[in-house]
Amino acid sequence: MKSTTTKHDSSQPVADTAVYLFDDWFDPIESCVRERVREFIGGMIEGELDATLLRPRYGRLPKNAAAGAPAAVGHRHGHRARSLIGTFGRIEIEMPRARLNGPDGKTAEWNSQVLRAYQRRTLAADALIASTYLAGTNTRRVRRALKALFGGAVGKDTVSRVWRKVKADWDAWNARSLADEPIVRLILDGTVVDVRLDRKATAISLLVVIGVRADGQKVLLAVKSMGGESAEAWRSVLDDLIARGLRRPELLIADGGQGLEKAIAAVWDGVPVQRCTVHKHRNVLAHAPERLHDEVTADYTDMIYAATPAQIESRRKAFIRKWRLKCRAVADSLEEAGNRLFTFTRLPPSQWRSARTTNAIERLHEEFKRRIKTQTVLPSAETAAMLFWALLASGQIRMRKVDGWRTLARTSIGQPIDLAA
């Protein structure tokens, strides 16, 4: 008996009957809620128009309103369909229409204040779209991520438009006064990101300044896109902070770059500076053969993380004596930092952990680059700075208080340790 199995002819077109995940996930609860939302919004706008005309649809002006003139004189003329996207999804609503009489005898179309003209999304929906973008995806992938909620009504152009709306808040943040900020410390560092300039991927520097308030809370003060970390670039950032009222800080924590050092000396000469111990560790290792890295690291860690200023001073002298003989470049690199590498020892030990390094900014840099990894190259230099700020402004990234914050407000800077070897 011959088999009756029909062979498929690969040359013939086949209808696309694939069922994708979530396609058949009908939820009666969601469907009912969205219908109720449609009714509620429609009723809200109808009520707004009733209040404007002081009468319901098909109604007359009440007799008790004779003492006062109606809010507006006009007439209704039907409805028009409007599409609205909110956190409840996409719905179609019927907008009531009316013509209002003006003082010049002409009529004008009534505009709802609840649902503004040309508004297609609620502010909460815009916030959701922007938050999805900030969570670490690109504009194209946001559409896929929110497809089930918005029914495919959000494309990459919508994400771009929502993102441009953030710029108004960004501009206001950059111009805000800092006169009332009780800043006692600054942490300064930069990072490199790739942006599109003249249709080419170009590396720029984001210069970031974090302030530490008297109560220990860290706050972002500035993030500027610059061509590099030159003295002129950093001077521009610091001058802007001073122009907006920032008071002279009590301590500066920096990565040790020459450009930043010169800019600090120009505007705040005499303010104690702490060189980041992590950056200096990298500098020291760069001057040693790889086979000595573990030994250098062990000696450096024993020195930096000693329990008391006296122990740090003693181990620093031992470090210099040992490495002058074994690898002089290592000793010279450590000595280059001078007292600024040990400024933290002039503070209470409870504050050493937060004062030794620029890790507060380094962690922000790492999180920022993780979020933009999907985009590879950002559209512009301003977008890079604005995105960095938005991650904090939106609460996607939060900064906690510094260690030892309880003694921060009453701390005085002590004397430096003895550097004599």
- pLDDT per residue over 72-95, tens digit each? 788 888 898 888 877 777 888 889
What is the mean pLDDT of the segment spanning 376-380?
A: 74
Lowest mean pLDDT among 81-85, 205-209, 240-244, 349-353: 81-85
What is the mean pLDDT of the segment spanning 107-126?
A: 82
Contact 87, 122 (CB under 8 A): yes
Mean pLDDT of the chain: 83
Residue 114 has pLDDT above 90, yes or no: no
Residue 101 has pLDDT above 80, yes or no: yes
Q: pTM, whole model, 2 decimals? A: 0.69
Whole-number pLDDT of residue 201: 87
What is the mean pLDDT of the segment spanning 386-413?
A: 82
- pLDDT per residue over 260-283, tens digit each? 999 999 999 999 999 999 999 999
Residue 188 has pLDDT above 90, yes or no: yes
What is the mean pLDDT of the segment spanning 217-232?
A: 94
Residue 23 has pLDDT above 70, yes or no: no
Whole-number pLDDT of residue 181: 95
Question: In the 3-class helix/strand/coil scheme, how is the chain assigned residue by residue?
Answer: CCCCCCCCCCCCCCCCCCCCCCCCCCCHHHHHHHHHHHHHHHHHHHHHHHHHHCCCCCCCCCHHHCCCCCCCCEEEEEEEEEEEEECCEEEEEEEEEEEEECCCCCEEECCCCCCCCCCCECHHHHHHHHHHHHCCCCHHHHHHHCHHHHCCCCCHHHHHHHHHHHHHHHHHHHHCCCCCCCEEEEEEEEEEEEEEECCEEEEEEEEEEEEEECCCEEEEEEEEEECCCCHHHHHHHHHHHHHCCCCCCCEEEECCCHHHHHHHHHHCCCCCEEECHHHHHHHHHHCCCHHHHHHHHHHHHHHHCCCCHHHHHHHHHHHHHHHHHHCHHHHHHHHHHHHHHHHHHHCCHHHHHHHCCCHHHHHHHHHHHHHCCCCCCECCHHHHHHHHHHHHHCCCCCCCECCCHHHCCCCCCCCCCCCCC
Most confident of the following: 7-21, 47-61, 275-289, 370-384: 275-289
- Residue 286 vs residue 406, higher pLDDT: 286
